[in-house]
Structure 1
Amino acid sequence: MAAQIQPDTVFNGERNAHLNVICGPLINFKNMDVTTSTSVWRGSVLIVTKPGQAQPQLIMRQVGPVSNGDPVSESISKDRNFTIDGLRLFEDPRKAFWRFSITLPLESYEARWEYSIPGFRHAEGQHVRSLWDFVVPSRSQSMRLMFHSCNGFSVGTDMDAWVGPNLWNDVLRVHARKPFHVMIGGGDQLYNDGIRVDGPLKEWTSISNPHKRRAHNFDNDLRARCDEYYYENYVRWYTTEPFKEANGRIPQINVWDDHDIIDGFGSYTDHFMRCSVFRGIGGVAFKYYCLFQHHVAPPKSTYTTDAPQTMHAVNGTAGADPRQLENTFVLESQDVDDSWIVGKRPGPYVEEKSRNLYMRLGKRIAFIGVDARTERTRHQVNYPDTYDLIFSRLEHEVTAANGDIKHLVVLLGVPIAYPRLAWLENILSSPFIAPIRLLNKRFGFAGSLFNQFDGQVDLLDDLDDHYTARQHKKERRIFIQRLQEFAKVHSARVTILGGDVHLAAIGRFYSNPKLGLQSVNDPRYMVNVVSSAITNKPPPKAVANLLARRNKLHHMDHNTDETLMDMFDQQPGGLEKSASWNKVTMPSRNYACITEVDIPVTNGASSEPHDDSTITPLPKDGHSPLHKGEANAGTNHPAADGFSSNSSMYGGLDIAIRVEIDPQNREGATDGYGFSIPTLTYDPTKDNARPISQSYSERSGSQHPESRPQSARPQTAVN
């Protein structure tokens, strides 16, 4: 057995000589401060090494300004070199996690930085690059964003048909043309579902009696085997090219979703979710989520049934188990990451508090990432007081920014403006399914229709994940109304990112046309950019077409409508992905690019030109373009290539969805589809609706359109 690892271990040998690296480097963005005279960018780099290594170092230098993705000058880099010592987060007899915390000054120009790690050598001897680079925005610049989700493969995917994570090649090509400052992972950064197929939960999954399955112990031996599975799966996926190269060059922001744990986690019935195996793998998945995706030390121990102190949270985390700490070092007394908004109490099925995010993405963009998995049950996405914490932090930060923030980007794991599927929920949970379930239980009939956990129809956990599921609709409405109120008070445009559904779409909330509000003055106009999946296979085109047929006009409340936007004017590469009439859902692998449109500079000063073309005749409804930026959405829009920003929607956001043409093409060739989002100039004199805050009285009332009997609802409100 290896010797006990202590925090003050002294190693012999030359520092960084032959640093045996298992995984990494992975670069993260943490936060930035653009409100002081000494504006700074903060991030981190993570490497995983063999245990017993000397403390590694990282060497930074600034290359110089960036122009069209290329360095302009390297002459200023000579006096910009500095060294950062690694901080050990976790070590056991198999591996050690090291974090390099980086703080960089923001310049008057967009700057390229390079870093190297002396002695870096892959533990298995593969060739690796010795120098990595990334780009930091200027003090006056907003970040350029790349958004992705579902970066892995579901169990049973035909790997000959869906060849590898090819789209990361296109990400790197676009990054070379115009660098991304950050890549935002919307959940399912990898898929851990194989743990029940060829991993340590295979035997447990095969137990046919649901009572025995629920009562199964999660002892320390099973925990250790699951721990090994999650770790090895992270290493395997995070060392897969070309995703591996992007990990070292584009700083990441991540929130997790169910597949980062296991398919459907949180959305099965409560009595089954509380079983020991689910709670156990929830704790182990959280451990490696902290390390790989956030570069922070994990809890000292995770849930096991033979260590009672781990079965209930102590001070917001699992209690310490001496067996799990044997020959193991875990960093203690670390500062709380200032980007985190930590929930007040642990989740119902994970003995940890939620980790929501606030970050400043450059000069004019604020960002909120909602941890919609830690607190999730079949009947809630987040605790009410977690929303209060999020909006309190947001209010504090935006007020301190003194009017600089013009956009709020909100990251959710799943779409929130999306076609209703209540009719499918009703069918799959109806008594008509019971005889088929009985045949499945006894004879295996229709085996692919039912999941191996609780015996329910497999699609139900996915439907229960949706904000539009009937049990989440009230929570959804309140959340959207709070975002609307924020937009009104701060005259800041809200844009929502969501993934999960394995296709691309653009949903929008907007003021009912009867109110006569132009989009530029409309705080209810919020776009939901749905981009999924960057790697996983898309659904069949028949499913995408069915969703498109369900793209009805919905009335979220008396003043807010919603629907999907026509975006996909032609098929990518001329290859049929969906029906020719379907312009709203695209079942092909994809990712999104988000770029603030530069305001022209005249005589050395930025000034937004007067543009009457933003004022357009109001459409009858949201099936038509709502403003100039939507009017030519698709392949001919200036933003479609993913790196241009000349749409003339000054100060707004250009959005591109890059769609894979052929999954057999390892280069990841894509076609782009674009549109623009305007800034918000809210003028209360132009808003004929009653204040949004008054609509809070409807939160529990029965007068809401979605709570009225079907016969009393407007015919366009199909819920």
Structure 2
Amino acid sequence: MNSNNMSRTGPEPDPDTRPGIGTAANAFAGEIKSAVQLHEETNGIHQPPPSSMDGAVNERQGRNNTDELEVLCGPLLNYKHTSNGTSRNPVWHGSVLIVTKNAQPQPELHLRGLGQPGGPNQVNGINGVSQSGKQRSFASEKLYADKEKTFWRFRIDVPFEEHESSWEYTIPRVRFVEEDSGQDTKKTSTKTFCVPSKKQSMRIMFHSCNGFSVGTDIPAFGGGPVVWEDVLRIHTQKPIHVMIGGGDQIYNDGVRVDGPLRAWTDIGNPQKRRKFPFDEGMRRACDDYYFKNYTRWYNTEPFATANGQIPQVNVWDDHDIIDGFGSYTDHFMQCPVFRGIGGVAHKYYMLFQHHVPPPRTTFTTDAPGITGTPGTNGVAEDPVQEKENFVMTEKNEDPSFVLGGRPGPYVEEKSRSVYCQLGAHVAFLGIDARTERTRHQINYPDTYDKIFARVSTELQANKNLKHFILLLGVPIAYPRLQWLENILQSPIIGPIRFFNKRFGVAGGFFNHFDGNVDILDDLDDHYTAHQHKKERKMLVHRLQDISKKHSVRISILGGDVHLAALGRFYSNPKLEIPAENDFRYMPNIISSAITNKPPPQAVANLLARRNKVHHLDDKTDETLMYFFDRDPGEGDTGVARKTADGNHSTMPSRNYAIIDESHSFDDAEVDGVATTNGVPDGEAVPANGNGTKSSNPRTALHAGEENAGTQHPAASGLKKTGLGGKYGLDVSIMVEVKANDPNGRTVGYGMTIPGLEVQAS
């Protein structure tokens, strides 16, 4: 790192003069004072001094002499981590991001508590009553700037209180403008969000595949991300504390259709395509495309509203870069264009989805020292990009990140998995399964060592964590498709490929990159693909070890496949271990896509027919459960059927998931109803042991799976059932009824995951 880079952020200001700290200390006493002190010690709220590039930019553009901030995108709200998680005074940490035009005054954020949700005053979708009106102020940090735009981050923190609490934040003097038109938008600079009590775990919304594939008939699917209207409906009725993005939060595939890669994609000769340079001109064009695509999509309603008031935690997948990235043949993935777009996509993924400064430069074939093998810390520095851009030096990585030990093979940066505590009893880990991915591996072995060491350390330190949620971009308990892989890679495809090259026959059957069958990159992404079989088994066994050692239930989230399902691992029935005591019982909640089009009914039915009972080993079985008792909208006029009568395990319709604690820890009531052990009075408390003994493991394995579907108490996504015991989770997959409904109306399918009590062997 050169000295110029080190000096860009300048010395840290005196703590007593930092904007916002004095206000916070005077406004809050006791718990909040300690929270502010901790925030200062770990993060440092400070105002960066003007950078050396600011003068050059101001000369070119002229500084905005008004007090208005012209905002191009945001605010975007992230949840980061919890500090003091084992104490009586835990603290919630998050961040807010806005993107402004360059040469703007430094923004500030004001934050105040609104008290408990549910009061008479409606504030931006969440009911809240202000208890005191006390306000804290936070200065911004400049993450990145070039001659056109600046990314600003606010690090914010609030205390977990005795009851669920609403918080309002405002960024004064902002004017929201659309970059292309320069017209004002109707956004508001005031947003609210909700934090659970210190005794609760977070109420979770999970989604994936939030965009449209190239060629989709978008008007046929409501014209946009309309299912987010339903998310906001649920959020208004019962606040969501965190939304987890499982990958493909944005689709950047258009870069090869109407973007700067169009000419490259049209090159017919694979050799010429592989050798095509990714020079500085191409880098600038791709940089501009990815930025504008992010701002366009993240400004699209109702997704934009959700971004500002439901804190996000994200990992990425291929479409955040380009379709199939990482799963093509190695010699093709190593080509300059793929290396180049991998770097550009990573840059904006860091900024928009994680609110952290990106690497200082990204790959080009023009820059000396970059075209070779990257160093141990990633891409070498390019003097051209260094001269034109400002990139903040992050003093300390947020403790939520688990960084890989070495750069990925194609995205030449370290992987960035995410660990955080989701309230009182739930631990969360999102594995970055794209940065290190090749056709034959998902993650490096040493990366697994690092992330499982982190998880084990956290669970050992905090015995209150009783449920561990693992996020994988792709399902892991899912039907095998190796038979299809074998056909698509067999000699019978040869003649079809020949006629495709000579006469254009079956043009849509082969991709435009490496000439292979188009669906192969999707199949290669699956954990169940034959080349990932060994890695998959290792991962499941390590999860079982974690579950048994720490007596923690593990639930897995997965997306990518554009349909809803619920898979699970469990002990071989011959072992006669009740699910409540079974550390091998791990459900895989599969929710995809929230925006993209679902697969045809025939594909979903084919997967259901391939839903066999598989044996991971002699003690562990796996299968999809019968979860869908009927089609959404069944009986409604004009609603087409989604599945065959015999398909109860896959649902080809847009969807998202709501996950909440089954038990209420705040008081003796659940939704106003008196409870015993978290179960509403008058309902039977489930006994330990399988609720239903059946020879078909696709049916209920325990009481929480009985009546799974629309008749289950958890189906609405709004009610705690108590059916999971003290540390169980209620799950609802909200499935869209009608694709062209502008309100994105859904029907919920519910089940409950039991907590775990490992019996001594």
Residue 189 of structure 2 aligns to a residue whose secondary structure is: coil
In the alignment, what sits opposite 2:708?
633
Residues in 2 aligned to 1:342 and 1:416: alpha-carbon distance in whole angstroms: 23
AA partner of residue 154 (structure 1): S
Aligned with residue 251 of structure 1, among 294, 306, 311: 311
By how many angstroms is 1:333 displaced? 3.9
Give the conservation status (yes or no) of the 8 Å contact 1:506–1:567: yes
* 1:461-493 deviations in Å (ceiling 9; x for gaps): 000000000000110001001101111111110
AA partner of residue 131 (structure 2): I
AA partner of residue 647 (structure 2): N
AA partner of residue 615 (structure 1): G
Aligned with residue 350 of structure 1, among 394, 411, 429: 411
In the alignment, what sits opposite 1:55?
106
Give the conservation status (yes or no) of the 8 Å contact 2:118–2:128: no
In the alignment, what sits opposite 1:306?
366
By how many angstroms is 1:322 displaced? 1.4
Residues in 1 aligned to 2:574 and 2:657: alpha-carbon distance in whole angstroms: 32
By how many angstroms is 1:38 displaced? 2.9
Map 1:231-630 to 2 at 5 A. 231-311=291-371, 312-401=373-462, 403-574=463-634, 575=639, 576-599=641-664, 601=667, 607=677, 611=685, 613-616=687-690, 617-630=692-705
In the alignment, what sits opposite 1:698?
none
Residue 687 of structure 2 aligns to a residue whose secondary structure is: helix
Residue 585 of structure 1 aligns to a residue whose secondary structure is: coil
Query: Which moves more between the two structures, 322-331 or 421-430?
Result: 322-331
* Pairing 1:31–2:81 present: yes
AA partner of residue 594 (structure 1): I
Residues in 2 aligned to 1:77 and 1:121: alpha-carbon distance in whole angstroms: 28
By how many angstroms is 1:337 displaced? 1.6
* Pairing 1:134–2:189 present: no
Give the conservation status (yes or no) of the 8 Å contact 1:341–1:389: yes
AA partner of residue 656 (structure 1): S
Residue 213 of structure 1 aligns to a residue whose secondary structure is: helix
Give the conservation status (yes or no) of the 8 Å contact 1:15–1:56: no
Aligned with residue 96 of structure 1, among 144, 150, 153: 150
Aligned with residue 71 of structure 2, among 21, 28, 35: 21
AA partner of residue 244 (structure 1): A
Give the conservation status (yes or no) of the 8 Å contact 1:599–1:650: no
AA partner of residue 140 (structure 1): K
Residue 336 of structure 1 aligns to a residue whose secondary structure is: coil
Aligned with residue 168 of structure 2, among 105, 110, 114: 114
Residue 217 of structure 1 aligns to a residue whose secondary structure is: coil
- For the aligned residue pairs, the C-alpha RMSD in angstroms reads 2.0
Residues in 1 aligned to 2:699 and 2:303: alpha-carbon distance in whole angstroms: 38
Residues in 1 aligned to 2:759 and 2:415: alpha-carbon distance in whole angstroms: 36
Identity, % of aligned pairs? 56
In the alignment, what sits opposite 1:681?
757
Residues in 2 aligned to 1:648 and 1:471: alpha-carbon distance in whole angstroms: 39
In the alignment, what sits opposite 1:643?
718
Residues in 2 aligned to 1:114 and 1:51: alpha-carbon distance in whole angstroms: 27
Residues in 2 aligned to 1:478 and 1:315: alpha-carbon distance in whole angstroms: 27
* 1:92-121 deviations in Å (ceiling 9; x for gaps): 011100000001111111110001110110
Residue correspondences, number: 680
Residues in 2 aligned to 1:642 and 1:528: alpha-carbon distance in whole angstroms: 18
AA partner of residue 22 (structure 1): L
Structure 1: give runs of 5+ residues left out of the alignment. 686-719
By how many angstroms is 1:443 displaced? 1.1
Residue 73 and residue 262 in structure 1: after superposition, are their counterparts in 2 closer, same or farther (change >3 A)? Answer: closer
In the alignment, what sits opposite 1:162?
221
Residue 510 of structure 1 aligns to a residue whose secondary structure is: strand
Give the conservation status (yes or no) of the 8 Å contact 2:376–2:407: no
Give the conservation status (yes or no) of the 8 Å contact 1:339–1:357: yes
By how many angstroms is 1:73 displaced? 6.2
In the alignment, what sits opposite 2:117?
66
Residues in 1 aligned to 2:522 and 2:128: alpha-carbon distance in whole angstroms: 51
Residues in 1 aligned to 2:596 and 2:675: alpha-carbon distance in whole angstroms: 46
In the alignment, what sits opposite 2:11?
none
* 1:308-336 deviations in Å (ceiling 9; x for gaps): 32334334121111111233211014311
AA partner of residue 145 (structure 1): I
Give the conservation status (yes or no) of the 8 Å contact 1:16–1:56: no
In the alignment, what sits opposite 1:83?
137
Residue 613 of structure 1 aligns to a residue whose secondary structure is: coil
Give the conservation status (yes or no) of the 8 Å contact 2:350–2:358: yes
By how many angstroms is 1:614 displaced? 3.9
Give the conservation status (yes or no) of the 8 Å contact 2:551–2:756: yes
Residue 68 and residue 193 in structure 1: after superposition, are their counterparts in 2 closer, same or farther (change >3 A)? Answer: farther
Give the conservation status (yes or no) of the 8 Å contact 1:166–1:666: yes
Residues in 2 aligned to 1:102 and 1:606: alpha-carbon distance in whole angstroms: 37
AA partner of residue 623 (structure 1): R
In the alignment, what sits opposite 1:717?
none
AA partner of residue 51 (structure 2): Q
Residues in 2 aligned to 1:350 and 1:326: alpha-carbon distance in whole angstroms: 23
By how many angstroms is 1:649 displaced? 2.4
Residues in 1 aligned to 2:718 and 2:347: alpha-carbon distance in whole angstroms: 36
By how many angstroms is 1:14 displaced? 9.9
Residue 77 of structure 1 aligns to a residue whose secondary structure is: coil
Residue 107 and residue 220 in structure 1: after superposition, are their counterparts in 2 closer, same or farther (change >3 A)? Answer: same
Give the conservation status (yes or no) of the 8 Å contact 1:343–1:354: yes
Residues in 2 aligned to 1:285 and 1:207: alpha-carbon distance in whole angstroms: 22
* Pairing 1:147–2:212 present: no
By how many angstroms is 1:520 displaced? 0.1
By how many angstroms is 1:607 displaced? 5.0
Residues in 2 aligned to 1:206 and 1:32: alpha-carbon distance in whole angstroms: 49
Residue 458 and residue 419 in structure 1: after superposition, are their counterparts in 2 closer, same or farther (change >3 A)? Answer: same
Residue 314 of structure 1 aligns to a residue whose secondary structure is: coil
* 1:406-436 deviations in Å (ceiling 9; x for gaps): 1000000100000000000000000100110
Give the conservation status (yes or no) of the 8 Å contact 2:678–2:722: no
Residue 16 and residue 41 in structure 1: after superposition, are their counterparts in 2 closer, same or farther (change >3 A)? Answer: farther
In the alignment, what sits opposite 1:46?
97
Residue 366 of structure 2 aligns to a residue whose secondary structure is: coil
* 1:189-242 deviations in Å (ceiling 9; x for gaps): 010000011110011111111111111111111011000110000000000000
Residue 557 of structure 2 aligns to a residue whose secondary structure is: strand
Residues in 2 aligned to 1:120 and 1:370: alpha-carbon distance in whole angstroms: 36
By how many angstroms is 1:599 displaced? 4.1
Residue 543 and residue 75 in structure 1: after superposition, are their counterparts in 2 closer, same or farther (change >3 A)? Answer: closer
By how many angstroms is 1:672 displaced? 0.7
Residue 161 of structure 1 aligns to a residue whose secondary structure is: helix
AA partner of residue 593 (structure 1): I
